[in-house]
Chain A
Amino acid sequence: SQTIHQWPATLVQPVGSPLSLECTVEGTSNPNLYWYRQAAGRGLQLLFYSVGIGQISSEVPQNLSASRPQDRQFILSSKKLLLSDSGFYLCAWTRDRVDYGYTFGSGTRLTVV
């Protein structure tokens, strides 16, 4: 079966510290992968998407970066976190059925203090 794993579930980091969030997908190959952020009281904002290894598209200018070192691995990073980076980060992948849209991971709650 196809599953998506995202970790950690929660993270508290000081301002200026680095960040690394990891997402892996199992049971499929060459998925389209996405990083979304849900800021407090706001909708889901697409940050990055990837259609293959090493292929990253950025949707909004920001303090974050993404990488895809392996087919089913997607990493969200930052060299120096800002307070405004706090939010709920979600990884997602596109299923075979277009009418199902994306399947999301369980999310990471990041609080920058």
Chain B
Amino acid sequence: DQQVKQNSPSLSVQEGRISILNCDYTNSMFDYFLWYKKYPAEGPTFLISISSIKDKNEDGRFTVFLNKSAKHLSLHIVPSQPGDSAVYFCAARLSNTGKLIFGQGTTLQVKP
């Protein structure tokens, strides 16, 4: 079963606007949630994370929101830039093993 889901395979936004990427999870044993950014033919790079005891974490243009009751998290990018165009993976860390479970990814395209 898919414990971490990104239901939108793709998203297109205009430069300067907000990009909102969503992620849902089913397991209550996750202690951290992370977002990774991936360009073609490269490994994913860490973007931002949030502890399960928090509901918001902000780093520059990137903010992650966690709604534990809904088992939902989102990544907000404001303002979006063309260089943000990439595949974004949501991941959740299992508290007992430390393993990361990844979503399917969302391809973001920011149009100039």
Residues of B within 8 A of A (CB): 6, 31-32, 34, 36, 41-46, 49, 51, 89, 91, 93, 98-105
* Nearest A-chain residue to B42, judged by Cβ: A106
Contact: A43 with B41, CB < 8 Å? no
Could you list 9 further interchain pairs (A-B, Cβ under 8 angstroms) beyond the known A32-B98, A43-B104? Answer: A43-B105, A98-B93, A99-B34, A100-B34, A101-B91, A102-B100, A104-B36, A105-B43, A106-B43
Residues of A within 8 A of B (CB): 6, 9, 32, 34, 36, 42-46, 49, 88, 90, 92, 94, 98-107, 109
Contact: A94 with B44, CB < 8 Å? no
Q: How far is the CB of B2 from chain A (nearest CB, A)?
A: 9
Knowing A42-B104, A43-B102, A99-B49, say if A104 contacts B89 (CB, 8 Å). Answer: no
Q: Which of B36, B43, B51, B89 has the most CB of A within 10 A?
A: B43
* Nearest B-chain residue to A59, judged by Cβ: B99
Residue from B6, B43, B91, B93 within 8 A of A90 (CB atoms): B43
* Nearest A-chain residue to B48, judged by Cβ: A99
Question: A36 CA to B105 CA in the complex, in Å?
Answer: 14
Residue from B45, B98, B103 within 8 A of A98 (CB atoms): B98
Residue from B41, B51, B101 within 8 A of A99 (CB atoms): B51
Contact: A107 with B42, CB < 8 Å? yes
Question: A100 CA to B93 CA in the complex, in Å?
Answer: 10
